[in-house]
Structure 1
Amino acid sequence: MGGDVPGASRREWWGIWGIAGVAAVVYSVLSFVRVHSLKAGTYDLVIFDQAVRAYSDFRLPIAIVKGVHNDFGAGFSVLGDHWSPILALLAPLYWLHDGPETLLIAQSALLAAAAVPLWVFARRALGTGAAYAVAIAYTLSWPVAEAVAFDFHEAAFVPLLTAVMLERWQAGRKVAVVLAALALLCVKEDMGLLVAGFGLVLLTRAGWRVLGGGFVLSGVAFTGLASQVLIPAFGGRPDYYWAYGALGDGVSSAVRTIVTDPLTAFGLLGTPPVKLVTLLLLLGVSVLAALGSPLVLMAVPLLAERMLASSFPNWWVPEYHYNAFLVVVIFAAGVDAVRRFERLRKVWVAGIVVFALATVPFFALAQLGDPGSYRRDPRELAAARAVATVPDGALVEVANNLGPLLTGRARVLLLDRTPRWAPWVVVEVGRRVFPFKDAREQSERLDALVAAGYQIRFRQDAYVVLHRPGPDPKL
């Protein structure tokens, strides 16, 4: 797919950057609406906020909220959870504004910026008009919207880096391709699988086969190294995210099951059936055209990682951020398939935009059309008053959806079933909040705190703020 096309005009560049700019603003608005309507969470926004704040202070990315809740200890580094050193690039932004809002704006900008190299890729293959349609369909796509809506995650870097890698490959720039692949390996431990998947694609292309073989081998090796060596070196467990109990209790036994009993593995791809729904929706962003390109091979290892899992249901549903890891691959594969059939281009271009628009009402962007999203109801006002009761710099156990409102000025722990004896505690009792089973369990937690000597400093609607004087506990 080498070669180039005449350079885009200034007007065309203004057009694509305008699309990306509008998308970044829309994504930022959605993120802020979710925080202030109490739809964001301590898990995961506060985890990343604490980690990047630590980076900005030239410390290891320690997230006390993650370490304490998951019993790793208060000094736990998020590098022991996922191998994501690329987060350090966001640290200088915290010198401008120290708070989770910085992460949300950065994520919005990163996700939106991917539209630009994707546009270049599509323009070179299909022409300028079709490229704009691809960029618009991407910015409206449900995988991106769901990533924006679920707090902040390292997935924010992947569409941009993937689009750069594919566009540079299309332009025949091997050094740039390698650099983009190396950057992806700094995003998350399983990005080695994405690089290996791209290696499979390169094996089908003359002049790229040596690099392709290197990508396959190094990608798989890196995922093993990161999960089995690097993550444990920072206090994590190599089996913490093992999700394949139906195949075996480890990699070797799982591979043995896949080889000796492939029907079991095949059955897992559609168990539960929502896995097939997710796959269909993901391929749907290209109106299934991605299936006509070898580029779709790039998605196979990451999809297998998710769809062969028998635990961690978040991995295989349309919600959350996991589909954003592959959305650019699917669009690029669609472009690659359609470029061979000129008569289908107009129909396909219209189809991807129609699909993107048709899915908007069913996913996160629809929240922007609800007038209620921009008004605080009595419950949200009570929540704001509750968190305002907590003094700056305090150690506080807080209900999951209130942590983002406090993390910029307090040391936040997740309120869970285990008392941490922080001087300040903010409880919600009106509805179930993660990680509790039900609201009654939260009420029992409140009663236990009062019985232990905590005093109620604020109570309104479903929110209660408690305080017990004394030093911070040893966590």
Structure 2
Amino acid sequence: MTQPSATADTPRAAAVRWGIVAGAVATVFYAVLALGRWNAGDSADYDLGIFAQGAEAWSRGHWPQSDIRGLSLLGDHFSPILATWGVLWRFWPTPPTLLITQSVLLGAALGVVVGYARRRTGVRVALLIAVVGIFSRAVLTAAMFDVHEVAYAAIALAVLCIALLQHRFGWAVAASVWLVLTKEDLGLTVFAAGFCWWWMYRGEGWRRPLILAGIGVAGVIVAMLVIGAFSPGSGSGYLAYFGIGSSNKLPVPEDHSLSPQRLLPVLMYVVLALIVGVRSKLTVLAIPTLVWRGVSSNIHYWALDFHYDVVLWPIGMLAFVDVIERYGVPRLRSWQSGCVGVAMVAGFALAVSEMGDRSVAPGSFFHTAPVVENIRALAAAHLPHDARVATQADVGAYLVPAYDAFSLRPDQHPSVDYVMFTSKPKWTYQVPVCAREKLVREGAQVWRRGTVTLVKLPYRQRVTPTC
């Protein structure tokens, strides 16, 4: 009698093993970077403090509200999927919960991509994707700068791309729904997925492409309606960067010129796809993100210093895998292999530059910096539990959830009892020295520990850190 083959499922089992190992290594790596920044005192109100307050509200069964952001988070971005952070917050109510969750999501996304690459293209390509993927600047910018809702999009996009490549409509629908619940602009990506399905499987007709496109359109419409209902201005303030509506009053530099920097996201996608992957039909999924970022007046959307590229990350990697699966691994001395080599060098150079800019020291994972200890010590000694305190951007996240933290910025005017700030020489949204000195002069009481200052105001009042 013929025995069942012991190796029948070897390719699938090998792919699973590779995915698990790659995902686990990436998760640990990203968690060490994120928690290292947290322990070093480099985490910020924007966005960790904001999302921590949102998670706390979700955990109590309330709509997500952030005093740091100054509005309901559903009036800022449409991200109901972040209610899952509220569930986790119930068990571990501290901002590192969100940092670790994001690391798991990003690691899982890489694991899915590497597992697929192992099964479809073999060991060499899977190893290449694992190394290039884990050190890509596109994901490091997200892993090293607090938390962002698009971490949820990374794994959903990986699943969507694989569903398109493997003709799995059910998985494509599930991933599409996940995406439209993650952020309002991702409905455009889902719409593109409908076009991509039609392009790949034209002989099947229009029903499935229209379903995917319909999910995308419905997602955008619902998102805009919800944002309008929860926003103070009855609409998304981010549309002002596209010449629609009024500003959301964020202090973001704008530029309406045809600057060449608008093409930086396109170059990032080309690097992520290792150049040759641009030929894949999956590139269609990247187009909506590249277009809205490129036409915006918000210069942060063009830059490679923020989390926006993480949406392109799984698309680019799987586009490369798709091209290799279709056309084979390039010969060593071919122009295609040269392109891959150039992209790899560029990718690693961008990653090293990002890690240098962020000054991330993985060793910080093992000890807490004095500035963090001083923030906590001053708060424990002098802040009542119900205190309303306006904080500089590098302080607020460390006071959530024990205290009611607000943002000490010129664009916000919170009514508070205390203010807390640091005198770090370099920080985003640093309160001017003259404004800090003014707050100290006008304070009823002042306490200092190291670089941290806590000021008790004479009475509850609105504060604006201007000179």
TM-score after normalising by structure 1: 0.82
Match in the other structure for 1:344: 330
Match in the other structure for 1:363: 354
Match in the other structure for 1:85: 80
Deviation at 1:274, TM superposition (A): 2.3
Match in the other structure for 2:208: 211
Is 1:182 the counterpart of 2:140? The answer is no
Is 1:303 the counterpart of 2:290? The answer is yes
Instruction: Name the CA distance, whole Å, in 1 between partners of 2:284 and 2:413.
Output: 48
Deviation at 1:420, TM superposition (A): 3.3
The residue identity in structure 1 corresponding to 2:455 is L
Match in the other structure for 2:437: 443
Deviation at 1:272, TM superposition (A): 2.4
Structure 2 unmatched runs, 5+: 1-7, 247-254, 463-467
User: Pick from 453, 463, 466: which aligns with 1:464?
Assistant: 453
Q: Secondary structure of 2:321's match? A: helix
Match in the other structure for 2:59: 56
User: Pick from 287, 291, 299: which aligns with 1:313?
Assistant: 299
Over the matched positions of the two proteins, sequence identity in percent amounts to 26
Deviation at 1:419, TM superposition (A): 5.3
User: Pick from 260, 276, 280: which aligns with 1:293?
Assistant: 280
Match in the other structure for 1:43: 46
Instruction: Name the CA distance, whole Å, in 1 between partners of 2:326 and 2:199.
Output: 17
Q: Secondary structure of 1:426's match? A: strand
Bigger drift between 49-58 and 460-469 goes to 460-469
Instruction: Name the CA distance, whole Å, in 1 between partners of 2:19 and 2:244.
Output: 48
Q: Secondary structure of 2:306's match? A: coil
User: Pick from 160, 164, 167: which aligns with 2:162?
Assistant: 167
Match in the other structure for 2:134: 139
The residue identity in structure 1 corresponding to 2:454 is V
Deviation at 1:115, TM superposition (A): 1.6
Match in the other structure for 1:412: 405
C-alpha RMSD over aligned residues: 3.1
> Structure 1 pair 381/176, CA: closer, same or farther in 2 (3 Å)?
closer
Q: Deviations over 1:188-226 (max 9, x none)?
A: 111101101222211212237432233334424532442
Q: Deviations over 1:133-171 (max 9, x none)?
A: 213322221111001122111011111011112223333
Match in the other structure for 1:261: none
Is 1:13 the counterpart of 2:6? The answer is no
Deviation at 1:278, TM superposition (A): 3.5
Instruction: Name the CA distance, whole Å, in 2 between partners of 1:345 and 1:90.
Output: 46
Q: 1:140·1:357 contact (CA, 8 Å) conserved in 2?
A: yes
Deviation at 1:468, TM superposition (A): 4.4
Within a 5 Å distance, the mapping from 1:264-279 to structure 2 comes to 271-279=258-266
Q: 1:287·1:355 contact (CA, 8 Å) conserved in 2?
A: no
Instruction: Name the CA distance, whole Å, in 2 between partners of 1:54 and 1:120.
Output: 36
Bigger drift between 117-126 and 191-200 goes to 117-126
The residue identity in structure 1 corresponding to 2:407 is L
Instruction: Name the CA distance, whole Å, in 1 between partners of 2:445 and 2:205.
Output: 68
Q: 1:398·1:412 contact (CA, 8 Å) conserved in 2?
A: yes
Match in the other structure for 1:23: 26
> Structure 1 pair 290/393, CA: closer, same or farther in 2 (3 Å)?
farther
> Structure 1 pair 369/100, CA: closer, same or farther in 2 (3 Å)?
closer
Bigger drift between 416-425 and 129-138 goes to 416-425
Instruction: Name the CA distance, whole Å, in 2 between partners of 1:6 and 1:279.
Output: 39
Instruction: Name the CA distance, whole Å, in 1 between partners of 2:458 and 2:11.
Output: 65
User: Pick from 229, 235, 257: which aligns with 1:238?
Assistant: 235
Q: 1:399·1:433 contact (CA, 8 Å) conserved in 2?
A: no
Q: Deviations over 1:33-71 (max 9, x none)?
A: 21222322111111110111111111111112212xxxx
> Structure 1 pair 446/249, CA: closer, same or farther in 2 (3 Å)?
same
The residue identity in structure 2 corresponding to 1:40 is S
Structure 1 unmatched runs, 5+: 68-75, 252-266
Match in the other structure for 1:70: none
> Structure 1 pair 109/376, CA: closer, same or farther in 2 (3 Å)?
closer
Match in the other structure for 2:420: 426
Instruction: Name the CA distance, whole Å, in 2 between partners of 1:379 and 1:445.
Output: 20
Q: 2:392·2:430 contact (CA, 8 Å) conserved in 1?
A: no
Q: 2:154·2:310 contact (CA, 8 Å) conserved in 1?
A: yes
Q: Deviations over 1:105-126 (max 9, x none)?
A: 0000000001222124323432
Q: 1:203·1:210 contact (CA, 8 Å) conserved in 2?
A: no
Instruction: Name the CA distance, whole Å, in 2 between partners of 1:438 and 1:203.
Output: 55
Q: 2:39·2:364 contact (CA, 8 Å) conserved in 1?
A: no
The residue identity in structure 1 corresponding to 2:64 is P
Q: 1:36·1:380 contact (CA, 8 Å) conserved in 2?
A: yes
TM-score after normalising by structure 2: 0.83
> Structure 1 pair 380/234, CA: closer, same or farther in 2 (3 Å)?
closer
Q: 2:14·2:119 contact (CA, 8 Å) conserved in 1?
A: no
Within a 5 Å distance, the mapping from 1:251-270 to structure 2 comes to none
Match in the other structure for 1:394: 387
Q: Secondary structure of 2:146's match? A: coil
> Structure 1 pair 22/121, CA: closer, same or farther in 2 (3 Å)?
closer
Deviation at 1:461, TM superposition (A): 4.2
Instruction: Name the CA distance, whole Å, in 2 between partners of 1:161 and 1:124.
Output: 19
Instruction: Name the CA distance, whole Å, in 2 between partners of 1:149 and 1:97.
Output: 21
Instruction: Name the CA distance, whole Å, in 1 between partners of 2:161 and 2:435.
Output: 50
> Structure 1 pair 445/468, CA: closer, same or farther in 2 (3 Å)?
closer
Q: Secondary structure of 1:15's match? A: helix
> Structure 1 pair 437/415, CA: closer, same or farther in 2 (3 Å)?
closer
Match in the other structure for 1:332: 318
